[in-house]
């Protein structure tokens, strides 16, 4: 049983991928987990799998009133959030900036930036009031390493990284911890299927003949971070599969 078993963990984007795997790993480790997402049916499947230690919470992070009312509905120890994992986020498209669909940019900014701040701003005062808590934000290698077609997606993840560092700065003198996790290429999630708008062939091509990170790698990282000693703060953790490196600065020949 985890050290804070009477308190709850809130994970956004819990219906699939990293988020769903985090719910599994953290419930199996003995914690009470609230899984938040838009797709309630997926959360109910997780509830059937995980039992009473899992609470489904229908919430659209990109909709401030949905965030406010969903979080206000939490009762008793479920309202005592000791760990918030801001996992919800998405990439849409890989076209060069001048060809990208502007509505896609707005959706990414809305979910990855505004959505993350809606949830954080709601939960922070509760953590401040008890001078305890941990916020883990899901950034990306794309927030530090540019790549073609990464334009606004990578920029939203750069926001997540810098917001995490700035949060920790504002929280100096408190016991509240903040970490930015920046995963690189990770498969077996809906990430690329969403990015390529349901084109499963194009999505599968991203992972062809590559050994990539698994959702469990990231979920186990969250568990490890949460269980690190209370005096220790991991500011930023960047994780890539061995098949990926940051080499690759491009040159254009005349």
Residues with catalytic function: 153
Q: Which two tokens stand for residue 152?
A: 């606004």
Compute the least distance from the CB of residue 155 to ligand 8X3, in Å: 12
Judged by CB under 6 A, does residue 140 bind ligand 8X3? yes
Judged by CB under 6 A, does residue 142 bind ligand 8X3? yes
Judged by CB under 6 A, does residue 184 bind ligand 8X3? yes
Q: How many residues bind ligand 8X3 (CB under 6 A)?
A: 5
**Which member of 12, 141, 179, 189 binds ligand 8X3 (CB under 6 A)?**
141
Are the CB atoms for 19 and 11 separated by under 8 Å? Answer: yes
Q: Which stretch binds ligand 8X3 (CB under 6 A): 116-124, 140-148, 213-221, 230-238?
A: 140-148
Judged by CB under 6 A, does residue 185 bind ligand 8X3? yes
Euclidean distance between CA atoms 239 and 221, whole angstroms: 10
Compute the least distance from the CB of residue 135 to ligand 8X3, in Å: 19
Q: How far is CA 209 from CA 17, 94, 148, 187, 196, in A?
A: 20, 21, 21, 12, 19
Burial class of residue 67, CB neighbours in 10 A (0-12, 13-18, 19+): buried
Residue ranges in 90-137 assigned as alpha helix (H): 102-108, 116-130
Residues of this chain that bind ligand 8X3 (CB under 6 A): 140-142, 184-185
């Amino acid at each position: 049983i985890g050290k804070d078993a009477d308190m709850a963990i809130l994970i956004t984007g819990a219906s699939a991928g990293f988020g769903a795997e985090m719910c599994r790993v953290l419930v199996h480790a003995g914690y009470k987990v609230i899984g938040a997402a838009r797709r309630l049916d997926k959360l109910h499947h997780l509830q059937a799998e995980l039992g009473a230690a899992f609470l489904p919470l229908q919430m659209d992070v990109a909709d401030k009133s949905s965030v406010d009312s969903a979080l206000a509905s939490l009762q008793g120890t479920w309202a005592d959030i000791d760990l918030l994992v801001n996992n919800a986020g998405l990439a849409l498209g890989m076209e060069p900036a001048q060809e990208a669909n502007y509505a896609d940019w707005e959706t990414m900014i809305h979910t990855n930036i505004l959505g993350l701040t809606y949830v954080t701003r709601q939960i922070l005062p509760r953590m401040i009031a008890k001078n305890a808590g941990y916020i883990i934000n899901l950034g990306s290698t794309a927030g530090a390493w540019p790549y073609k077609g990464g334009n606004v997606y990578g920029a939203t993840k750069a926001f997540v990284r810098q917001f995490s560092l700035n949060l920790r700065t504002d929280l100096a003198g408190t016991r509240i911890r903040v970490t930015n996790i920046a995963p690189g290429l990770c498969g077996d999630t809906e990430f690329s299927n969403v990015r390529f708008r349901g084109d499963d062939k194009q999505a599968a091509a991203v992972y062809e003949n590559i050994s990539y990170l698994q959702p469990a790698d990231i979920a186990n990282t969250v568990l490890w971070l949460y269980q690190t000693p209370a005096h220790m703060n991991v500011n930023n953790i960047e994780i890539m599969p061995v098949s990926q490196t940051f080499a690759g600065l491009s040159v254009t020949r005349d």
